[in-house]
Structure 1
């Protein structure tokens, strides 16, 4: 996301509008961002705790939005709406269904 500071408020409002539309459509699950002031921790299988992160997430920036959608095609359309509002690319992932959860 490379938006001039004077446009951040407009980008935030555009993103919140898409979230409002997702809520109105009944597909919104939750959304949030990573609290950058709190350092990540790695908790190992032996319960060892250390301040670290996965190498591929060293520069994580932004947040996430989880929607319950009927198909990947619909998910792509919602991701495009979010990308347009945020003025940056969005990574689309799919949760695997776990019948035990």
Structure 2
């Protein structure tokens, strides 16, 4: 089976729960149900939610000494909010999982296969 990254992306100006974090509870519960289904069907590999983008530190070690910068490397239109790594028999199955995950987290989900070894 192929492993796929299902990544949840938010727009730069999207933080629907910033003012009322309690409003996120139904979304977290829906994502938990989705995670349980992934596990039950054997598709689960790993998943995680990420802290807000302003907690980012960028490391650039392409020169002589590593340079650490607070925040993302560049202003972005989107930011990564979380992800799943799943196993699926093909892209169509991964896309079905992504649609279900998108519904659960109420966000856009990108699907990318991992490189084969």
TM-score (norm 2): 0.68
- The higher relative CO (CA closer than 8 Å, separation ≥ 6) is in 2
User: Residue 30 of structure 1: which of 32, 43, 46 is its match?
Assistant: 46
Question: For residues 39 and 66 of structure 2, what CA distance do their matches in structure 1 show?
Answer: 40
Q: Give the count of matched residue pairs.
A: 98
Bigger helix fraction: 1
TM-score (norm 1): 0.77
1:94 match:
113
Bigger strand fraction: 2
List runs of 5+ in structure 2 lacking aligned partners: 1-9
For residues 49-60 of structure 1, the aligned pairs below 5 Å read 49-51=67-69, 53-55=72-74, 57=76, 60=79
List runs of 5+ in structure 1 lacking aligned partners: none
CA contact (8 A) 1:42 1:53 kept: no
Moved more, 72-81 or 35-44: 35-44
RMSD: 2.5
